[in-house]
Chains A and B, each alone.
Chain A
Amino acid sequence: MAKCALCGREPTVIDVGSVQLCRDCFIGYFERKVLKTVQRYRLFSEGDIVAVATSGGKDSLSLLYILNKYSKQLGIRVFGLLVDEGISGYREHTVKHALEVSKRFGLEIEIVRFSDEFGMTLDQMVEVSRKAALPYGPCTICGVLRRYLINRYARELGATKVATAHNVDDEVQVFLMNFVRAGVSSMGREGIAAVAQHRKFVQRVKPMYFCSEKESTVYAILNGLYPPFVECKYIVYSFRLPAREMINEYEACRPGSKYRLLALKTYLWLKLSRNIKHTQLKTCTICGEPASSDICKACQILSDLKKYRKVPDVG
């Protein structure tokens, strides 16, 4: 048996760099990393009400659990905000699991559904988009409408910050995707906190920015937060999948690659973000929500879908 690098006990549950840690030392290490990120980057202020964007998956439940556990110490109030897009064979399992976890640990979770808000599930939207040959893949529709609902409901429920469970893996995958797309301006925007100026925009922060997905998986297992293993059926359409596989291959050949990529990403973000004007966002003329042009992306997508199937207006 391997011995824990911090306390010398056995057995060990995870490799952190080139050493192994036992259960208790790993939990302490992981929670300290999240709290240190929150404090060092001043992600929250005293009195903040934090909506944790919760999917019912391991990462977001881990974040909700930790922030709730340390909410008094941080001086914040925390609740989970779960968007049920309506992905059959997937989301119903994670929603059920999230509700069980919330009951077990006394976590507050609010659920918002695509079907209630937009009159269609994501599955139905994907079908309409496909039949009408619209230029929207499942991940585009899902991403845009989820962000729209999270921002709107977080604000309406009184949240002053939205915390997302983006981890090292997510960050370097998006970095690589932006790299391949030559998305320089996106590289300058994808930081640890989203800065945007609009009275209806709730600032987004990433307390797990420096945690790997493997760490959050092990943390979730050790704390009884891990959901039944299910995968979104639309992952095969995502540009993220090849990026994920490529980065994991590099990590296997050259351990530490993910953190080196994160360091490069952060360096470029700091350089590029100076040249990006954080201009005042516009207000969508249809729904009144923050928008980068006269009509927000959510309304653009819903408007196109509506031409082929009746979808109610948002807002």
Chain B
Amino acid sequence: MSRSSNSMGTSNKIRVRAYLVRYSREVEIELEEPATVEDLLKKLGVNPADAVVLKDGVPLSSKERVHNGDKLQILPVSSGG
């Protein structure tokens, strides 16, 4: 995982890995630091009303920070049935 500065050198970018459970697919996302779960879902285009974000199996509220190198799971709230 690498950190990089923007052209002004005033902010860092972080990279996190997000595993989309519904699609069995992992994606790497770059976010401006500081970033929250809310920012991550927005960037992924995932509706926060239909998702729970997990880190090490523990749910995170929308205001929790995500950090460089985090491995997160995006679990859909609704499941068919």
Contacts and interface: CB of A to CB of B under 8 A. Distances in A.
Interface stretch (A198-206, A212-220, A295-303): A212-220
B80 A235 contact: yes
Contacts of B50: 214, 248
Given A11-B64, A90-B81, A248-B47, A221 B52 contact: yes
A221 B54 contact: yes
B80 A248 contact: no
B21 A229 contact: yes
B59 interface: yes
A1 B22 contact: no
Interface string B64-81: 110000000001111111
Interface stretch (A13-21, A112-120, A183-191): A13-21
25 contacts: A11-B61, A12-B61, A12-B63, A13-B60, A14-B52, A14-B61, A15-B62, A15-B63, A90-B81, A169-B77, A169-B78, A213-B77, A217-B52, A221-B52, A221-B57, A221-B75, A229-B21, A229-B22, A229-B79, A231-B81, A238-B80, A251-B49, A252-B47, A255-B49, A258-B49
Contacts, number: 86
B22 A214 contact: no
Contacts of B57: 221
Nearest to A14: B61
Contact of B49 (A230, A235, A252): A252
B70 to A, nearest CB: 13
What class of interface size applies to chain B in its complex with A?
20 to 34
A165 to B, nearest CB: 11
Contacts of A55: 81
B76 A229 contact: yes
Nearest to A169: B78
B49 A214 contact: yes
A222 interface: yes
Interface in A239-271: 241, 244, 248-249, 251-252, 255, 258
Contact of B64 (A12, A252, A255): A12
A133 interface: no
B66 to A, nearest CB: 11
B1 interface: no
Contacts of B76: 229
A57 interface: yes
B43 to A, nearest CB: 14
A252 B79 CA distance: 18
Given A13-B60, A15-B62, 16 more contacts: A2-B61, A12-B61, A12-B63, A20-B62, A21-B61, A55-B81, A213-B77, A213-B78, A214-B49, A221-B57, A229-B21, A229-B22, A231-B22, A235-B81, A249-B47, A251-B49
